[in-house]
Amino acid sequence: MEYRTFGRTGLEVSTISLGTEYLINLPQEHVTGVIAEAVDRGVNYFDLFYSQAQFREVMGAAFAGRRDQALLACHLGVVEVDGQHSKTRDMAVSEAVFHDWLRLLRTDHADVLFVHNIDAQEDYDWAMSRLLPQAQALRDQGKARFIGFSGHTVSTSLQAVETGEIDVLMFPVNLTGHAVPGRRELFRACADRDVALVAMKPFAGGRLLRPETSVVVKNHHRGGGIAGDDRYELTEKSAITPVQCLAYVLAQAGVSNIVPGCQSVEELEASLAVLEAGPEERDFAPILPSVSQYVTGECVYCNHCQPCPSHIDVGLTLRLLDEVQGRPTAAQATAYGQLPAPASDCIECGVCTERCPFGVETMDRIGEAARVFEGV
Task: List, for residues 68-88, the tens digit of each pLDDT value.
Answer: 999 999 999 888 877 777 788
pLDDT per position as a tens digit, 83-138 = 777 788 888 998 999 999 999 999 999 999 999 989 889 999 999 999 999 999 99
Residue 253: which residues within 8 A CB-CB, separation 6 or more? 184, 187, 188, 191, 301, 319, 322, 323
**One-character DSSP codes across 167-195:** SEEEEE-SGGGTT-TTHHHHHHHHHHTT-
pLDDT reported for residue 292: 54
Residue 255: which residues within 8 A CB-CB, separation 6 or more? 173, 187, 197, 199, 249
pLDDT reported for residue 87: 81
pLDDT per position as a tens digit, 7-22 = 999 999 999 999 998 9
Amino acid at 227: A
β-strand partners of 14 = 3
Residue 307, preceding bond cis, omega within 30 degrees? yes
pLDDT reported for residue 286: 77
**pLDDT < 50 positions in the chain:** 294
Amino acid at 46: F
Average pLDDT, the chain: 88
Q: Among candidates 255, 239, 253, 322, which has minimal Cα distance to 288?
A: 239
pLDDT reported for residue 158: 96
Residue 137 is given by DSSP the state H
β-strand partners of 81 = 84
